[in-house]
Chains A and B, each alone.
Chain A
Amino acid sequence: MDLVVALAINGLIWGLIIALIALGLSIIFGLLDIINLAHGDFFMVGTVLAWFVVQSTGNFWLALLLVPIMGLLFGALIQRVVIVPIQSAAALTIVATFGLSIMLQEGVRATFGAAPKRLLPPIEATVPLFGIEYEVYRIFAAAVSLACLIGFFVFLHRTKLGTWMRAVRHDRETATALGIPVGRVYTITFAVGFAMAALGGVVAAPITTVDFRTGVDILPFCFMAVIIGGLGNLQGTAAAAVLLAFMEGVITAFADPVVARITSLCLMSAVLLLRPQGIFAGATA
């Protein structure tokens, strides 16, 4: 029973981190119409940058502050250089982001190295939770993710930039006519998407390993959250991420983790075929 509780809590916490990353994928998908196959690698770059910052300064909190800013800059740069020239050829953006994914993975392998490394949690204490000793850092990671999720929704609904982002997604022509700088909104959206994945990377780095391949595992999971939650339904994405990770955590307690993954994928196929608007559509409309 302890194992089930531990895996369920792990799933819940992991789900909150994934929700953060998947939300980044979802805004890029919903606003820019791009299937971003490099999104998992944006997360991976976040973990690696966190590792570099911690190595050079010894301060994890600095990484938590700096890496999302680096993510914003990288994201803006990539959007300007790679995405802008092909924005009109939408199918090709999948191919371009696949190329980007190859370059990011190989770039990290060339600089950081091929061997996975571990980052120690900055908080080492444990607390009793439902009868098990649980790491405080994991609870902290969940709290940070949750705060960022709430912060993002506040940003989207309470700031001018957030309103612009929603307006451009809703109706690009009208937004342009109203004087919203659509091009800049696109760049910022992509940059914010990268930054959220990178932030997820920093938060997750002490829990998972720092490795140039981690993005490959994260990517399908983020897509599952986006699809099951409903394309463009941001609250749905966040909820689906938490639900999926929780479900996989519970299944993992009884069966092979691969079985958990197959279950989620089958669920995703069913949603794609039967309810392409996502399982929460209608509830939030």
Chain B
Amino acid sequence: MSAGGIAGGREAGARRVEAVIGVLGGLLVLFFAIAPFVLPVLTNPFWVSIAAEIMIWSLLAASVNLLFGYTGLLSFGQALYFGFGMYGVAIGVSALGLGFWSAFAFGIVVSVAMAVVAGALAVRLTWHYFAIITVVFSLIFYFLALTLKPLTGGDDGLAFSLPPMFRFGETEIALTNQTVQYYFIFLVVAACFLLMAVILRSPFGRALVAIRENDVRAELVGINVYVMRLASFVVAGFFAGIAGALFAFFGRYASASYMFYHVSGEAVVWAIVGGTGTLLGPVIGAGLLIIIREELSLYWDHYLLLVGAIVILTVIFAPKGIAGLVYDLVERMVGGPRTPGAAAERVPDAQREPAE
């Protein structure tokens, strides 16, 4: 890093960039906050439930982002914790007879417990091996869920009826009310993203980025790399579990097919296309690709060709994703004097060639 006369100007520029990015992020959140009132007027009430779905999936993508974008570990198995959250809720309600909140908590607890066990083993590995073992773990439980039909319903899934959230005498508040459901999802997802922002600004978040940049150096300055990676893995599993629990409430069922590696792969795609290493990148990625799925599939049966092409083009031309492009654009417009090589500094180590 060079310190010089232009450093002050650059700092002010950086603050302006942060401010503009903050406003853009705020607008994105505002859009989701008012979507149930705006979307039915602009288009069609059907899009409100798509917006809810986008929020849930962006939470799963955010769990990939925490691991890959901030810790430098590419997990191809986040669907496992999503599936556990999902089945926790479904089995909790249908088999254990739990109420709404306890089923929700149960879903989160089982997915976190699974993440602790899987993470304790998986984070001993890095790089290729980490990606592979996360897939393997998710496949093991996918196949288990397929065989344990009495418990999981296998491929057909396990449907359940929604328990009420609150009951005041005769009146019940439940997710069967579309507006209640939307805002419940909105509040939970927003709280998770807020928590993620807090984590990333905390010393723990800084330690994760240090590990992403160079794990040997991080170890040398006294960071316990294993424990930090495990903690990151567990937090990612927590987010994925919440996403799964929300999706169970949203769809009123759970199915083994959501634990397959294609779901994990989709989450990785959303995170990468949206922009890893940025807080709201996963929301952009999940939003864009789900809108493409919902809108384009009506006219073109083979829209997945376009999705595959977007993935490949993003990786080749915009490895920092859409959020990265937006960031660069804003920086060019209001960022003031630019430092050559500044962009290169932000490429995490994990995306470079591995050191032997």
Residue positions of A touching B, CB distance < 8 A: 29, 33, 35, 37, 82, 85-86, 88-96, 98-107, 109-110, 216, 220, 223, 227, 231, 256, 258-259, 261-262, 265-266, 268-269, 272-273, 276
Contacts and interface: CB of A to CB of B under 8 A. Distances in A.
A99 B121 CA distance: 28
The B interface, classified by DSSP as helix, strand, loop or mixed, is: helix
A269 B77 CA distance: 14
B352 A92 contact: no
Nearest to B317: A85
B144 A262 contact: yes
Interface stretch (B17-25, B101-109, B306-314): B306-314
Contacts of B136: 220, 265, 268-269, 272
21 contacts: A29-B128, A82-B312, A89-B351, A89-B352, A90-B353, A91-B127, A95-B311, A102-B305, A102-B307, A103-B309, A105-B304, A223-B132, A223-B135, A256-B147, A258-B147, A261-B143, A262-B144, A265-B140, A269-B121, A269-B137, A273-B121
Given A82-B316, A106-B304, A272-B136, A94 B311 contact: no
A109 B302 CA distance: 8
A99 to B, nearest CB: 3
Contacts of A29: 128
Contacts of A107: 302, 305
Q: Which of A85, A88, A91, A266 has the most CB of B within 10 A?
A: A91
Contacts of A91: 68, 74, 127, 131, 350-351
A262 B291 CA distance: 36
Contact of B316 (A96, A231, A273): A96
Interface of B: 68, 74, 76, 121, 124-125, 127-129, 131-133, 135-137, 139-140, 143-144, 146-147, 261-262, 265, 268-269, 272, 301-302, 304-305, 307-312, 315-316, 319, 350-354
Q: Which of A95, A96, A105, A109 has the most CB of B within 10 A?
A: A95
A94 B147 contact: no
A266 B301 CA distance: 38
A106 B140 CA distance: 26
Across chains A and B, which 4 residue pairs bring their CB atoms closest together, nearest first?
A99-B311, A103-B308, A102-B308, A106-B304
Contact of A35 (B132, B140, B147): B132
A115 to B, nearest CB: 14
A92 B274 CA distance: 14
A98 B351 contact: no
Given A98-B269, A99-B309, A223-B132, A86 B74 contact: no
Given A82-B316, A98-B269, A99-B309, A92 B351 contact: yes
Contacts of A105: 304
Given A35-B132, A89-B319, A258-B143, A94 B76 contact: yes
Given A82-B312, A99-B312, A103-B305, A269 B133 contact: yes
